[in-house]
Amino acid sequence: MNEANTFPYRQIRARYGDETITVYQAYKPQIATYAAREGRFPDTWSRSRMTWVKPSFLWMMYRSGWATKKLQEHVLALEITRAGFDEALAGACLSHYDTSVYPDRDTWGRRLHRTTVRIQWDPERDLHLRPLEHRSLQLGLAGRATRDYADAWLVGVTDVTDLAHEIQGLVRSRDLAAASALLPAERPYELSDELAATIGATPRQSPSA
């Protein structure tokens, strides 16, 4: 299947419900085990540095090497409030200057220095972790946003490492249909036009006449 032309160039696709959205991060065993057991990050988890969350399961698999890279041996599915997620998006700035989003470099620079939330649009991945043409959101949180993420927005934590390894095994055995069936169900995340413009998402297409 050619996914390259299936999705808008920049679009958030995620597993979400009415109140929450799932994002992914990879951690060393000590942090992941505690977080999955207690439903929160340990006090030793740094709330003062930037942390990146990813709504795309396959992008997380790419980043962590199917949960095999050092200090990324466990992948967590973290359920956070949509209110918190939307708040972060509304205050975000793209990590790099983009003429399609900002009228000039000075405008981008001023926003960059006013906010502690960063947006990156990186190539989405297929089951072989190859880059696709459309982009996936990476959300960087620092300062107050990091603290809110850990202590206010987070409502559930699940260790999905075994699922990652099971899907990887199916990919290696070339059973892509079975691997696809196990992927978390991600769908387009609805954004207002204003919010889409803020984060540089591809505008919604108007219905044809």
Q: What is the pLDDT of residues 77-87, one digit of tens each?
A: 999 999 999 99
Backbone CA torsion sign across 183, 188, 190, 192: positive
Q: Tell me the percentage of the chain whose pLDDT exceeds 70.
A: 95
pLDDT at residue 6, as a whole number: 79
The pLDDT of residue 99: 96
Q: Would you put residue 112 in left (φ > 0), alpha (ψ -120 to 50) or beta?
A: alpha
The pLDDT assigned to 46 comes to 95
Q: Tell me what pLDDT residue 5 has.
A: 58
Confidence of residue 110 (pLDDT cuts 50, 70, 90): very high
Q: pLDDT tens across 2-50, in order?
A: 444 579 999 999 999 999 999 999 999 999 999 999 999 999 999 999 9
Please state whether beta strands 20-27 and 117-125 pair in parallel, antiparallel, or not at all (unpaired): unpaired
Query: Coil, helix or strand for 13?
Result: strand
Instruction: Determine the Cα–Cα distance for residues 142 and 127; give it in Å rounded to an integer.
Output: 31
The model's pTM is 0.94
Six-digit token pair at 178? 């079975």
Task: Report pLDDT digits (tens) over 168-195.
Answer: 999 999 999 999 999 999 999 999 999 9
